[in-house]
Structure 1
Amino acid sequence: MAAERTAASPQAALLLFGSCLPVLGAVLIAPVLPRMHAHFAETAGVAVLVPVALTLPALVIALLAPLAGVLADRMGRRALLLASMLLYSLCGVLPLWLDSLALIVASRAGIGLAEAGIMTCCTTLMGDYFDGQRRARLFALQMVVTSLSAALFMGVGGALGESDWRTPFALYAVGVLCLPLMAALLWEPRACHSAAEATAQSRFPWAALAPLYLLTGLAGVSLFIVPVQAGYVLQLLQVDAPRQVGLAMGANQLGVLAGALAFRLLARLPVARLLALGFATAGFGGGLLALASGYAPVVLAVLVNGLGVGLLLPTLITRVMQQVGFDQRGRATGGFTAAIFAGEFISPLLVLALMAGMAMQLPHALLVIALGQLALAQRACR
């Protein structure tokens, strides 16, 4: 292990909780967007600025996570994590008092900056504190808890937003509440490798990591297909009851959970086989979604799709960690984080491009993406 002390359950729990905070930033305010829009109805550009308030953090993470990785390697993981947690809460609670939509959007950019540091440092510290099968199991568990937290935060945001659209922003104060625990229980790891290993790791292994980052970006595209597009597919099928849409989203999260748990059982298989299985399953689910003719087939499709995505991400981050030593782990993790969120940001844009502006072409667009995933699975098998 790369850490000076032995990490155990308290450290794992804190890092897993920290990994959930970027999810909080992504979904917490989704249920109150219509009320935000109504509140700022007289503001110029409100139709663009309100959705941007939701999606901007993901774009900032995609752009700045590599920089966060460099800082984590140079100035230390713990210091950057604590500073990011403080920034997260400060920017997160600002909309409680701001009455300018432009300033709220700017605060959301600050949230993205903080989340880039939090996600990069939490994942990097998991790689520092744990190794071997314990590390692989923890990365799978990271996928599990973030999937569960997405569903939980969506419900909490909706409940808090019943009284006032600003209320959900108060939950961002959790970053400050976590600071004392993180300061007390986390420590700055130190390299334990030999001089020969340090020399071998002196050059960043772009040749090994670039294909993994590309696959991670494609997995990020897959990850956001269902949350963004399933509701529109159901509308085309004349199903628009919020409860039914919510149940379909829940089925997708259940699939992601099952896929991450499956990784814990399949982790000893060759990486190429795991990637092929993940992309094939996600593509099969996407194809079922494109061809679905009713509500039950949609639920089955999103469940299968989630199963594939849940298998892909733990496989990829585990493989990324295997390619680098201690001194490059932050940069490697930053690149991985950026690739995921870039894929999430690109996902709806890709679907829109394939639709050519026609809503009825959505199933065709989803089928094209599914066929691409199946082609990736076939190539990974070679």
Structure 2
Amino acid sequence: MATATELRRSLWVLVAAATLTVMAGAILGPIVPQIQRELGVSGAAAGLIITTHGGVIVLASPLVGSLVDRIGPRRPFVGGLLVYGLGGGAGLVVDSYYPLLASRVVLGLGTAGVYTSITVLIYELYEGQAMERALGYRSSANSAGAAVWPLIGGAAGALAWNAPFGVYLLALPLGLLAAATIPDTRSSSDADDAAADGSGRSDETSGGIAELLAVFRDRPALPLVYVLYFGANALLYVIVVFYPQFLAGIGVTASLDISLYLAANGAAGGVSALAYDRLLRYGGRSTLVGAAFVLWTAGFGIATVVGTAVGAALPVILFGLGLGLVFPSTFAWVEAFAPADRQGQFSSYVASFGYTGQFLSPVLFGALVPFAGVEGVFAAAAAVAGVAAVGLGAHRFRGG
């Protein structure tokens, strides 16, 4: 059993690692044009440097989840940090496109290991309100990373086009710190025995689609949690992808100015996530998620009519406040609904659904731009959030 001191120390290591999962793509956003010029590739090819790791996370996360269920989360967490640092930091010395793209695949594998292992470590190290608080801190760290890392990436890119890749190396000392501080949550001998003979957890996680569907049938709320996380990430990338275009239409074109709006979104999410466990005292997770839907509906609705640079700050702040309520609720619901001996597997689907939502968002909403403009995208996003708010409210009303 971990001591209170070990738990506090572990929490800060987990929080620090949580910012890295956001940094994986965010830190390179400001230097995409520089990558394009230096490597002599198209804008779409340069964009793949940012998005490739997300596709790897979608595919690799279920495998990582099964590994976590078999041997526990500590070793995949430490190993994931080391792989993350090596894969991301390789950009410092790679000066051609395809090797750089390959390094992003390695980065994705490391990120998948870190992302899912953080979730299960929180489940296994903390209980009750302490777990809710840790999940809130984790989401707050994600939001803070979304606010800060692009600014750091832009500043480092001013020194050299590949300088931002050096920031990934922070994962290496953090991995060593994790190895020294994160306690084992399971008996190492049990984990080694399970890994050696393929018994125990691995049997539970290898049942295929039929067993997965059986779990969803017995726990019908669980797939809805994944849909919630998919939708939240899809709406987040409506902000990330389309808000800069909207800002250009009202005269905000400087990259630093645009980054401040996105930073405000992340900062707002960080504030609400920090208060998450205290807000639960005034209403359950469904209440907080319902409040987030209302905030999102209002934020996107305002974005369809606002026409000033000052007024344009309000929609991103409202969206960020909602995001800080939805993300920790998602992870807490997975812990509550998933089978206790398969939490690695089922928490890994959160990452897969989230990154799929990010990837598909420009496709799903971008189709509206030729017909309705960016304002039409925001109107559609407001409608999605509004329907979700009404649906959740109706479900709670019927349930008493």
The alignment partner of 1:8 has SS state of: helix
2:19 counterpart letter in structure 1:
C
Give the distance between the partners of 1:87 and 1:330, measured in 2 at CA: 19
State the Cα RMSD in Å: 2.1
Q: 2:208 corresponds to which residue?
A: none
1:214 and 2:227 aligned: yes
Aligned equivalent of 1:317: 331
1:142 shift after superposition: 1.1
Q: How does 1:56-95 map to 2 (within 5 A)?
A: 56-95=52-91
The worse-fitting range, judged by mean Cα deviation, of 64-73 and 244-253 is 244-253
Instruction: Give the corresponding residue for 1:38.
Output: 37
Which residue of structure 2 lines up, in the alignment, with residue 299 of structure 1? Answer: 313
Matched, 1:251 2:264: yes
Corresponding position: 1:107 with 2:103: yes
8 Å Cα contact 2:148-2:263 kept in structure 1 = no
Q: Which amino acid aligns with 1:208?
A: A
Q: Secondary structure at the match of 2:66?
A: helix
Partners of 2:254 and 2:338 lie apart in 1 by 48
Mapped contact 2:140–2:274 kept (Cα < 8 A): yes
Matches of 2:44 and 2:26 in 1, distance apart?
18
The answer for the alignment partner of 2:151 in structure 1 is: 155
Q: Does 1:367 align with 2:379?
A: yes
Tell me the distance in 2 between the aligned counterparts of 1:32 and 1:239: 19
Deviations 1:274-310 (A, max 9, x none): 2211112112111111222221221111111111111
Q: Cα 1:179–1:255, aligned 2, differ >3 Å: closer, same or farther?
A: closer
2: distance between equivalents of 1:282 and 1:328?
33
Q: Which consecutive residues of structure 2, in runs of 5 or more, have no partner in the other structure?
A: 188-200, 206-210, 395-400
**Other structure's SS at 1:295 match:** coil
Question: How does the TM-score come out when normalised to structure 2?
Answer: 0.86
Alpha-carbon distance, 1:325 to partner: 4.8
TM-score with structure 1 length normalisation?
Answer: 0.90
The one-letter amino acid of 2:258's match is V
8 Å contact from structure 2 (residues 78, 176) kept in 1: no
Match of 2:8 in 1: 9
What is aligned with 1:334?
348
Query: Identical aligned pairs, as a percentage?
Result: 26
CA distance in 1, matches of 2:120, 2:333: 13
- Stretch deviating more after TM superposition (180-189 or 261-270): 261-270
Q: 1:225 aligns with which of 209, 230, 238?
A: 238
Deviation at 1:376, TM superposition (A): 0.3
* 3-state secondary structure, aligned to 2:111: helix
The residue that corresponds to 1:380 in the other structure is 392
Gaps of 5+ in 1: 192-197
Amino acid at match of 1:318: A
SS at structure 2 position matched to 1:297? coil
Alpha-carbon distance between aligned partners in 1 of 2:159 and 2:289, rounded to the nearest angstrom: 45
Q: CA deviation at 1:5?
A: 5.8
Amino acid at match of 1:102: Y
